A and B are shown apart, each in its own frame.
Chain A
Amino acid sequence: MIDYDKVIPQKIRDIQPSGIRKFFDIAQHVDGVISLSVGEPDFKTPWAARKEAINILEKGKTAYTANSGLIALRRAVSGYLKDFIHTEYDPESEIIVTVGGSEAIDLAIRAMITEGDEVLVPEPSFVCYSPITTAVGGKAVPIVTKEEDKFRLTARALKESITPRTKLLILPYPNNPTGAVMRRGDLEEIAEVLRGTDIMIASDEIYAEMTYNGEKHVSIAELDGMRERTLVISGFSKAYAMTGWRLGYVAGPVPIIKQMLKLHQYCIMSSPTVSQYAAVSAIEKCGGDVRHMVEEYDMRRRLVVNGFNEMGLSCFEPEGAFYVFPCIKSTGMTSEEFCEKLIYEKKVAVVPGSAFGKSGEGYVRVSYAYSVSHLTTALGRIREFLEEHKN
């Protein structure tokens, strides 16, 4: 008999399964659940992208592409980034097309982090940064962000967390699960702290297109002296409603991209070919679809934020992504209790904030990637739930 405990290193065994996943298992066993827990668009991939995929399949163009991706796609991404974040990247040497933004995050951490290195992770945030860091022997250092700071990373909190071992800062904005964004002024303060250090930034901008309240998304790469230390990570899943196509990208300085490309080459070869062709069409033809989807999200965002505030759960106004993060402390329940009771009693699924780091305790993540009628029904049930639990 193999002793698997000896086969599997302790640091891997210690990694906890995603708290989001755990909640999925509960939701699955309750009949008739209406969900507000999904982290992906309710829209279908725009037709122009789907049509291009069909066309490519008909032509049988299904071989591997270049390791770093179709040059046509890298050029399209380069053009897009130039327009969107006013930063130029050489399609030949500074862009890799990856299997979702997730692979880009994995590559970034593995390319830079070794035993003992510290990675700063603002929390609450998406669940993957710390486990990947731990897996390569690094140390994930959470930086707690607070509601009173609109869940933004502050220069002060950053400064307090930097040590001589700090190598990488994750900048996950617009943020999942809080919906927080970093405006230009906020980023300037962060940039000021980092100037003159060797600390790199992995800027996870997968939700960048979903930035509301007028001002457009700003990437830290745009700021003076930041391009050389920043990996811009994004993809097609959220903006173009292409989650299942598994396609993202990373753009950054040559010395880092070169190392990441080796890892990508050995573990992935090249990203899915059909998806890559579809993505070229997405960038070239689907800008209008993206704007339409973002307008829809924005209307729902207002409706849901207002709904929570009206029922007495204070809800900070998110300005990005498609989540709201209401505070449930007034109910006296922990976020897990709240979510479990809500699902069993009212059959509405939301995700406990604690799944996104300890600092998410006292909050729940609610996705508004649903139709308006679905949202109003679900909000009605949550209102009933709160009334029944008033003490």
Chain B
Amino acid sequence: MDAINQKKLLDVLRQDARLSNAEIAVMLGSDESEVAKAIEELEENGIIMGYSAIINEEKADENGVTAIIELKITPVKDCGFDDLAHTIMEYEEVDSVFLLSGANDLSVTISGTSLRNVALFVSERLAVLDGVLSTTTHFILRRYKEKGHIFSEDSFDDRGLVSP
């Protein structure tokens, strides 16, 4: 990508992916077709994997729960942790799967309609998988910030309405 600074373009999209190509073009001093082309390339190269909204889940569904589950697993010869990670990510309930450094191996994020549902999922579907040595479930109690967006009722802008 020559005409458009890829880092800047990604920064803009991270802040607000709903800006139109025309608006982004103005911000980056480029033109609309260049922006469209650049975004298409980023999508084709698998740098941009998709677009989704940042949702305050507690507000959207009062009973909904999200949990982060850390798993210790046994690596398998030749494919390490990948095999099990693939099995886990196929479950619909699973939002994300990360391989971690440190004491635990996998971090799995799960959303469910109740604490019980999530707990059952862990005990009946995850803990029983071959190679899973242990699970630790952390329920998310409150979201303060996600993807750079602050989740707060009060505005964090403590500036006055008008100033010199």
Contact = CB atoms under 8 A, between A and B. Distances in A.
Contact of A37 (B12, B19, B29, B161): B161
A126 B163 CA distance: 11
Nearest to B18: A373
Contact of B159 (A42, A127, A303): A42
A309 B118 CA distance: 53
Contacts of A38: 159-163
Contacts of A302: 26-29
Contacts of A284: none
A28 B29 CA distance: 36
Interface residues of B, number: 17
B15 interface: yes
A254 interface: no
B138 interface: no
Interface in B1-58: 8, 12, 15-16, 19, 23, 26-29
B157 interface: yes
B102 interface: no
Interface string B113-137: 0000000000000000000000000
Contact of A303 (B26, B157, B162, B164): B26
A345 interface: no
A20 B16 contact: no
A27 interface: yes
B23 A24 contact: no
Interface string A82-125: 00000000000000000000000000000000000000000000
Contacts of B23: 303, 376
Contacts of A18: 164
Contact of A40 (B15, B26, B27, B163): B163
Contacts of B8: 295, 299
A24 B27 contact: no
A302 B28 CA distance: 8
A211 to B, nearest CB: 16
Contacts of A39: 163-164
A37 B162 CA distance: 5
Contacts of B163: 20, 24, 37-40
B16 A372 contact: yes
Contact of B162 (A23, A126, A127, A306): A23
Interface string A364-388: 0000000111001000000000000
Contacts of A306: 26
Contacts of B160: 24, 38
Nearest to A369: B159
Interface string A331-364: 0000000000000000001010000000000000
A39 B160 CA distance: 10
B161 A24 contact: yes
A35 interface: yes
Contacts of B26: 302-303, 306
B19 A372 contact: yes
Interface in A38-53: 38-40, 42
Contacts of B161: 24, 27-28, 33, 35, 37-38, 349
* Chain B CB within 10 Å, residue with most, of A23, A33, A303: A303
A35 B8 CA distance: 26
Nearest to A370: B157
A255 to B, nearest CB: 30
Contacts of A303: 23, 26-27
Given A302-B26, A303-B26, A306-B26, A27 B157 contact: no
* Chain A CB within 10 Å, residue with most, of B8, B15, B164: B164
Contacts of A37: 161-163
Interface string B141-164: 000000000000000010111111
Contact of A300 (B27, B162, B164): B27
Interface string A294-309: 0100011011001000
B15 A127 contact: no
Given A24-B162, A28-B161, A351-B162, 4 more contacts: A18-B164, A349-B161, A371-B15, A376-B19
Interface of A: 18, 20-21, 23-24, 27-28, 33, 35, 37-40, 42, 126-127, 176, 295, 299-300, 302-303, 306, 349, 351, 371-373, 376
17 contacts: A20-B163, A21-B162, A24-B162, A28-B161, A35-B162, A38-B159, A38-B163, A39-B163, A42-B157, A126-B164, A176-B164, A299-B8, A299-B27, A299-B28, A300-B27, A351-B162, A372-B15
Interface of B: 8, 12, 15-16, 19, 23, 26-29, 157, 159-164
**A-B CB proximity, top 5 nearest:** A24-B162, A299-B27, A37-B162, A306-B26, A27-B161
